[in-house]
Structure 1
Amino acid sequence: MAPPSFDFSCLLCTEDSSILDENDLGGSMEDETEQFDEPIEYVPPPLLPPPLLSEENLKVLIEKECHHLPASDYVNRLKNGELDLQGRMESIDWMEKAGLYFGFGPLCIYLAIRYMDRFLSVVDMLKERKWSIQLLAFCCLYLAAKIDEVVVPRSVDMQMDEKKYLFDKKTLRTTELLILSTLNWRMQAITPFSYIDFFLNKVNGDQVPIGDSILQSFRLIMSTVRGLDFIQFRPSEIAAAVAVLVSVEGENLIVQTEKALSLLIEYVEKEKVMKCIEMIQQLLSGSGSSAKDANVSVPFVAQTPIGVLDALCLSYNSDDNHSDATTAPLADSPLHNSPDAKRKKTISNFEE
């Protein structure tokens, strides 16, 4: 059965900024226009360890995660050119760059990319309408920010770096509703972040995961978002592979890997996790990095603009005496996405 199509031509698009008047912006265009040059100042909440999943809740997540995956033929359609692979990659570039600028966490970026993948896998979008993939990427990131972030910027502020297309509020609302309905309103998506603390705890003798291992895990999870072949894995399988890679070290890595996997096989398929481990290791070897490199200063994925992954997940100064050091949005609080940290959510300049 062919994927349903949507007439994106009914959505308003313009190639200049005339769609936005001074009342929309709250001031003149000249006063408001800015680029994503430097990240805005972000003060992370206190570092709080997230509550570990119970065995029962973990099994519920694993049962439901299949509802948060793209259609099974999505990867093949991207590879054979039926879908716009380049548009997907450019959208991820923009999401990561915007996420860094506004201080969004890795989970927010991951959610946005997965919203986009799930949508593209079931709705036909014409390649010649380049603005439609930009509109989709923007709305996916904006929805993810509303779901996951404490402070959500105005939609017009998030478009200031867009030199080609600008979208009005009505167009954005219409597209957001289309995304929500297409994804069956399943926006609290199950991701590898949902499992990582539980699996790290399991493979490390029921010890609470420390900050370094969480940061390393976040970095590895985010490194998988671009690769098409990682889409074949369930979130639990990616999380299990990452937990094993972060936890094993020293000699006899094969033996240690087998031992760590033995602690997780009641939750995930061993063969798929091993395949995922091999693919991540290939990714690491291609970048000249390793699973233990938590403080590297070069971008983990070469295609990522301005070292976004490092800035989102890694770059931090562990020396408390250097209080004026530049830190990434997530630097001092890798667990800022925990339920406790976001129990009280305030949204500034929320338009809808």
Structure 2
Amino acid sequence: MEEPLVPSLLDLQVEGAKYIFEPKTIRRMELLVLTVLDWRLRSVTPFSFIAFFACKLDRTGTFIGFLISRATDIILSNIKEASFLEYWPSSIAAAAILCAANEIPNLSLVNPEHAESWCDGLSKEKILSCYRLMQELVLDNARRKAPKILPQLRVTIRGRMRSSLPLVFIVTVSRKKIFMTRCGILRRHRLSEGTGSWSRRQ
């Protein structure tokens, strides 16, 4: 975004007229900074390549939105992994797109070696290495986020039950107590480490 009305240097001055910078001084400083940066003012990240690589992989445009979204999630979820520092941003983006493609049946058979032709400077070895590392991390993250299955609660009910009553229960668990309603008969069970006792209320 460009400024249509550039402020004068006097408007940018601080502390009054103690430090007055001439235009040639500002220009020399800017050229010095640009020279040190080798005129590279925009940092290149994997996100700079994701949309382009998604179009390369899915030329029909059917799954481009999913590929971009999923690849972005994969990169962000593994951004703290120090092992990715040895890979170029383009290699990380290519590996993320390939990992996202594995979740689409029509694209799951894409050979990672084909990604080398997507952009100049890509290395087949780097892409494959980053791809394998990313797959391991994706599987590891999936295992960590998998819901834990609680062990089944087995309760033995003592006493006879009326056969004429239908077997319909409403169970509520609260503070290690179970209340079961069976057609007007309220049964209360206190959970303990071993066994529990039932009381019947008419």
TM-score of the pair, normalised by structure 2: 0.45
Bigger share in strand: 2
TM-score of the pair, normalised by structure 1: 0.27
The structure number with the bigger radius of gyration is 2
Greater RCO structure (CA 8 Å; 6+ sep) = 1
Bigger share in helix: 1
